[in-house]
C-alpha cells in the first residue's frame, strides 16, 4: 500500500500494489472471496486490524490503498479506526462514489485510494481535513508512491524509472511487472525496499481486469513467502477461486 501501478494494455487493465509495513506485523490472510452486504469481494486481509489494502468486487470495482494524502503528515497518537477498514467497507459497496462522498472520515489518518469504478479511474484522497475525488485519464499509465515514506524527489525518481520502462513497450504480465519492480535496488527508496528491517516490502499484489467479465488477483509474500492466485467474476456472482 505504498507503491501502486496502473497500466492499460491489451484491452485490459493492470494494477500492482506493494505493501510496505513492519515485518513484526502478523502475517496477512491470503486473498479469498468474502460475502458483502451489496457485493462480494476478493482481497487479502490484515490479521491485526481486519482491513485490507487491495481488492476487487463483483461490481468490477478495484480499490488500492496508499498511506498518506498529497503530503506527509504529523501522525496523531490515536485514530478512530484503521484505514484498511475503509477499503473493506467500500469493497462491499455497489455505489462506490456516492458512498465515498457521504462517508465520515473524522479522526481517520490521511490516505489515498486508487479506484477503478463506473469504467473510470479515480484518485480518492482524504487529507485529514477534506475529501478529494480526482478523475484520471484511463488511457495513461500511472505510478503512485506513498507520501508517508517517499519524498518528492524520491517520487520523481520512481516516476522516471516507470516511464523509462514503459518506453521499452514491455509485454505486461504479473511476472514482467514484478521483474520491473525488482530492477530498482535502492533499499531505502527502491520499489521493493527494506529500511533496516524496521519497515520493508511485505507483499506484491497484481490484478488483471477484464472490464466485462472478471478479475484475476496474484498475491505473493516477499521475499519468498506464500503465493495465491484467485479470480472473481462480475455481476453474475459466479465466482471461481484457485489457491
* Predicted local confidence at residue 189, as pLDDT: 96
* Predicted local confidence at residue 134, as pLDDT: 98
- Round to whole Å and give the CA distance between 174 and 184: 17
pLDDT tens readout for residues 215-226: 999 999 999 999
Domains of the chain: 3-242 (3.60.60.10)
Question: What are the DSSP calls for 146-212, one per residue?
Answer: -TTT--HHHHHHHHHHHHHHHHT-PPP-HHHHHHHHTS---TTTSSS-EETTTEEEEEEEEEEEETT
Q: Please give the share of the chain, as a percent, with pLDDT higher than 70.
A: 97
Cell numbers 485510494 label which residue? 113
- pLDDT category at 236 given cuts 50, 70, 90 is low
Distances 141 to 12, 153, 162, 226 between C-alpha atoms, Å: 12, 20, 9, 29
- Round to whole Å and give the CA distance between 23 and 223: 11
Torsion sign (Cα): 235, 237, 240, 243: positive
pLDDT tens readout for residues 27-64: 999 999 999 989 999 999 999 999 999 999 999 999 99
CA 94 from centroid of its chain's CA atoms: 19
Q: For residue 238, is pLDDT > 50? A: no
- Round to whole Å and give the CA distance between 191 and 181: 6
pLDDT tens readout for residues 184-200: 999 999 999 999 999 99
Residue 203 near residue 221 (C-beta atoms within 8 A): yes
Buried b (16+ CB within 10 A) or exposed e, 132-161: eeeeeeeeebbbbbbbbbbeeeebebbeeb
Q: For residue 1, is pLDDT > 80? A: no
Here the cell at position 168 is 521499452
Distances 234 to 114, 115, 207 between C-alpha atoms, Å: 19, 16, 14
Strand partners, 207: 15, 217
pLDDT tens readout for residues 128-147: 999 999 999 999 999 999 99
Main-chain dihedrals φ then ψ at residue 159, nearest 5 degrees: -60, -45
pTM metric for this prediction = 0.94
16, 23, 6: which is closest to 182 by C-alpha? 16
- pLDDT category at 77 given cuts 50, 70, 90 is confident
Q: What is the mean pLDDT of the chain?
A: 93
Q: For residue 243, is pLDDT > 80? A: no
Q: For residue 237, is pLDDT > 70? A: no
Residue 53 near residue 64 (C-beta atoms within 8 A): yes
* Predicted local confidence at residue 211, as pLDDT: 74
* Predicted local confidence at residue 124, as pLDDT: 98
The secondary structure of the chain in percent helix, strand, coil, rounded to multiples of 5, reads 15, 40, 45
Amino acid at each position: 500500500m505504498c507503491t501502486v501501478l496502473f497500466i492499460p494494455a491489451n484491452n485490459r487493465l493492470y494494477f500492482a500494489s506493494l505493501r510496505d509495513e513492519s515485518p513484526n506485523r502478523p502475517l496477512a490472510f491470503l486473498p479469498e472471496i468474502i460475502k458483502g452486504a451489496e457485493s462480494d469481494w476478493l482481497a487479502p486481509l490484515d490479521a491485526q486490524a481486519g482491513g485490507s489494502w487491495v481488492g476487487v468486487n463483483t461490481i468490477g470495482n478495484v480499490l488500492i490503498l496508499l498511506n498518506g494524502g498529497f503530503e506527509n503528515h504529523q501522525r496523531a497518537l490515536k485514530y478512530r479506526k484503521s484505514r484498511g477498514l475503509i477499503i473493506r467497507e467500500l469493497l462491499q459497496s455497489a455505489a462506490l462514489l456516492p458512498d465515498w462522498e457521504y462517508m465520515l472520515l473524522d479522526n481517520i489518518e490521511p490516505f489515498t485510494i486508487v479506484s477503478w469504478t463506473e469504467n473510470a479511474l479515480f484518485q480518492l484522497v482524504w487529507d485529514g481535513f477534506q475529501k478529494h475525488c480526482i478523475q484520471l485519464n484511463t488511457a495513461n499509465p500511472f505510478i503512485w508512491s506513498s507520501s508517508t515514506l517517499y519524498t518528492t524527489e524520491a517520487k520523481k525518481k520512481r516516476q522516471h524509472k516507470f516511464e523509462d520502462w514503459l518506453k521499452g513497450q514491455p509485454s505486461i504480465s504479473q511476472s514482467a511487472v514484478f521483474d520491473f519492480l525488482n530492477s530498482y535496488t535502492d533499499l531505502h527508496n527502491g520499489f521493493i525496499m527494506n529500511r533496516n528491517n524496521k519497515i520493508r516490502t511485505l507483499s506484491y499484489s497484481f490484478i488483471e481486469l477484464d472490464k466485462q467479465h472478471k478479475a484475476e488477483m496474484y498475491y505473493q509474500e516477499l521475499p519468498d513467502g506464500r503465493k495465491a492466485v484467485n479470480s472473481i467474476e462480475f455481476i453474475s456472482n459466479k465466482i471461481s477461486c484457485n489457491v
